[in-house]
Amino acid sequence: MKKTNIFIPYEFNRCPEDEMCERSRKFYKTMKTRRSVRAFSTEPVPDEVIENAIRTAGTAPSGANKQPWVFCVIKDPALKRKIRAAAEKEERLNYERRFTEEWLDDLEQFGTNFVKEYIEHAPVLIVIFKENYRLDNGEKKKNYYVNESVGIATGFLIAALHCAGIATLTHTPNPMKFLNTLLDRPANEVPVVLIPAGYPSDDCKVPDISRKSLDTIMKIY
């Protein structure tokens, strides 16, 4: 039976042009300070901030509004230790066998290696799973544009955390199937990214990098 479409009025608050520009400047100024952090304080962060950031991520657009994502929040120290051990096992293989010389050369500027102590130090880990398909009473149902949808939601999450004063890192140990096992997630979910979140440590340093200029990344037609 065909579903009946239900539409409601969209309450859009349009603001004056000068205010729009000011808002966009402020947001850019805030986001410009975002950096990937690999040295975290163990100081806890407010639960509400994490919850609100995930609520924000959940507002992201998705294919056919299927919202094919699950955000797993890990604070338990013992579980974080297990995740670190499993991640480092895969990362050691990456650095010693899997990565090409070109890849290793590109990573050299960041001073990274297979040791991932930030997984334990950060007070919160957020593992984002993509839902490749849904299970409705045991029956497989399609999701659409899953990678694109989850990618957008991840961006929303990182922006929300940064704007709230929480530093993050996008960590992608590969393969990541161990996260399904440790977090007891079903086979239709695939881990996409592991995000440590918290305050930077007092001695935190980040690489001196630059970002591409506007005329490089924007083309007007």
Q: Which residue has the tokens 């962060």?
A: 45
For the chain, how many structural domains are there in total? Answer: 1
DSSP codes joined into one string, 29-46: HHHTT--B---B------
Which residue range forms the structural domain that includes residue 97? 36-200
Q: Between the CA atoms of 162, 167, 172 and 176, what dihedral angle is there, to the nearest 10 degrees?
A: -100
Chain segment 104-139, per-residue pLDDT in tens:
999 999 999 999 999 999 999 999 999 999 998 889
pTM of the model: 0.95
Residue 33 makes CB contacts below 8 A (sequence gap 6+) with 162
Does residue 212 lie in a domain region? no
211 found inside a domain = no
- Give pLDDT tens digits for 162-178: 999 999 999 998 899 99
Element (H, E) at 196: strand 189-198
The answer to whether residue 22 sits within a structural domain is no
CATH of the domain at 166: 3.40.109.10
**Domain assignment present for 169:** yes
User: What is the average pLDDT value for the chain, to the nearest integer?
Assistant: 96
Phi-psi region of 145 (alpha: psi -120 to 50; beta: other; left: phi over 0): left
Mean pLDDT, residues 175-188: 96
Residue 118 lies in a domain: yes
How many other β-carbons are positioned within 10 Å of the β-carbon of residue 44?
11
